[in-house]
């Protein structure tokens, strides 16, 4: 059974009647298809079992600062966020500044409720890799999280599924929590390939390491930095699809043009556990409102 068939089976569990019909239509020879049906049956059964288990996933809001900031502006932003965050925040908050500012951010946030992380890491442990930063180095700066496989890394820097998977494994091995990003382009969505693409990206990582306590971020490429967010329903559909392939306690964040004004509706979806926030994480007021919406 190939990936496309697994995706079809997970998305659209068939009942026995469908299977009988299909056997009539494809008598005896479409084995892969029937294996997919069988697989989907098992999947559906385990889903029912899982839904009986009450899982309480904590909310997480992560700010991806991308290549923005200066010592002065970072200081002011953190000051304002710390001052404005509710004392008893029900959501975990993380900021991911550019590498050179991790030291500054770690000093400012030590002892506060906000964690910090990096935006990328090398898949290698050490060696002649000019310009790269290892998981151990990131760890040494007190990072708990690291973003892996962001679509900007994939599209602008040519990171392949295999490379992203190696980075994911390196982060896991070092005890960092990867925020692993998956998402389809507009052309892929319009071609009806969203699930196939995100499943391929996810399974590449799962082949290299257990998902464990890692965080998944669904970030449709067409929604990143465009001002056009996925509707809550569109996000929920993909999150539910991804959830079916993971342990029920994995946190799945939505990312792509989340703002104060749309956050509550997106976070209200049952399979959305928070957000990965780009542009809006650079404005303290917006970011604080998004964190409030996640509680
Ligand atoms: P955006 O970016 O919120 O600016 O769309 C999200 C991201 O790239 O993680």
Q: Is the pLDDT of residue 82 over 60?
A: yes
Does ligand 1 lie within 6 Å of residue 134's CB atom? no
Mean pLDDT of the chain: 86
Q: What is the pLDDT of residue 56?
A: 77
The Cα 285–Cα 269 span in angstroms is 23
* 3-class DSSP assignment, residue 55: coil
Residues 6+ apart with CB under 8 A from 133: 99, 118, 120, 121, 122
Superfamily assignment of 59-293 in CATH?
Answer: Aldolase class I (3.20.20.70)
Domain boundaries, the chain: 3-52, 59-293
pLDDT digits over 157-204, tens only? 999 999 999 999 999 999 999 999 999 999 999 999 999 999 999 999
| 45 has a pLDDT exceeding 90 | no
What's the CA-to-centroid distance between 256 and ligand 1, angstroms?
5
Looking at the predicted structure, is the pLDDT value of residue 36 above 60?
A: no
Output the pLDDT for position 295: 87
Q: How far is the CA of 68 from the centre of ligand 1 (A)?
A: 13
- Which atom of ligand 1 is closest in space to residue 281's alpha carbon? 3
The token pair at 100 is 């050179």
The pLDDT of residue 8 is above 80: no
Residue 276: CB within 6 Å of ligand 1?
yes
State residue 41's pLDDT score. 36
**pLDDT of amino acid 18:** 35
279 lines ligand 1 (CB under 6 A): yes
Question: Choosing from 184, 188, 196, 219, which is the catalytic residue?
Answer: 219
Number of Cβ atoms within 10 Å of the Cβ of 207: 11
Per-residue pLDDT, 52: 41
**Cα–Cα nearest to 201, from 238, 272, 237, 149:** 149
Catalytic-residue membership of 239: no
Summarize the confidence of residues 8-29 as an average pLDDT: 36
Stretch among 23-37, 132-146, 196-210 having the lowest mean pLDDT: 23-37
- According to DSSP, the residues that pair with 180 across neighbouring strands are 148, 216
Token digits of residue 228: 């056009």
Q: Is the pLDDT of residue 51 over 70?
A: no
Which of 92, 123, 150, 195 is the catalytic position? 150
- The string of DSSP letters for 104-140 reads HHHHHHTTSSEEEEES---SSSSSS-TT---HHHHHH
Strand partners, 178: 146
Q: Is the CB of 256 under 6 A from ligand 1?
A: yes
Residue 183 Cβ < 6 Å to ligand 1? no
- List the alpha helices (DSSP H) in 53-111: 71-84, 102-109
Task: Give the model's pLDDT for residue 3.
Answer: 58
> Tens digits of per-residue pLDDT, 197-256?
999 999 999 999 999 999 999 999 999 999 999 999 999 999 999 999 999 999 999 999
- Nearest in space to 251 (alpha carbons), one of 155, 173, 98, 145: 145
Mutate to test the pocket of ligand 1, among 68, 119, 145, 219 (most ligand atoms within 8 A of CB): 219
Question: Does residue 219 carry a catalytic annotation?
Answer: yes
Q: What confidence score (pLDDT) does residue 54 get?
A: 55
Q: What is the mean pLDDT of residues 118-127?
A: 98
């Amino acid at each position: 059974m190939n990936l496309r068939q697994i995706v079809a089976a997970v998305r659209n569990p068939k009942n026995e009647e469908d299977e009988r019909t299909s056997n009539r239509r494809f008598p005896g020879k479409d084995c892969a298809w029937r294996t997919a049906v069988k697989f989907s049956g098992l999947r559906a059964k385990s889903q029912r079992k899982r839904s009986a288990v009450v899982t309480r996933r904590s909310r997480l809001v992560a700010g991806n600062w991308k290549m923005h900031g200066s010592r002065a502006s970072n200081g002011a932003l953190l000051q304002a966020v710390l001052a404005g965050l509710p004392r008893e925040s029900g959501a975990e908050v993380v900021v991911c500044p550019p590498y050179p500012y991790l030291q500054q951010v770690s000093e400012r946030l030590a002892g506060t409720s906000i964690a910090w992380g990096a935006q990328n890491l090398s898949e290698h442990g050490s060696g002649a890799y000019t310009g790269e930063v290892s998981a151990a180095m990131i760890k040494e700066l007190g990072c708990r999280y690291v973003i892996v496989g962001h679509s900007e890394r994939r599209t602008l820097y040519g990171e392949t599924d295999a490379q992203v998977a190696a980075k994911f494994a390196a982060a896991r091995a070092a005890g960092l929590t990867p925020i692993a990003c998956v998402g389809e382009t507009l052309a892929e969505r319009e071609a009806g390939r969203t699930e196939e693409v995100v499943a391929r990206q996810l399974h590449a990582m799962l082949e290299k390491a257990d998902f464990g306590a890692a965080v998944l971020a669904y970030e449709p490429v067409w929604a990143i930095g465009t001002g056009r967010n996925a509707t809550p329903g569109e996000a929920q559909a993909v999150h539910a699809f991804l959830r079916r392939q993971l342990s029920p306690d994995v946190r799945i964040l939505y990312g792509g043009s989340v703002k104060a004004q749309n956050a509550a509706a997106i976070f209200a979806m049952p399979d959305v556990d928070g957000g990965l926030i780009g542009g809006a994480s650079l404005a303290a007021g917006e970011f604080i409102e998004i964190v409030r919406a996640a509680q």
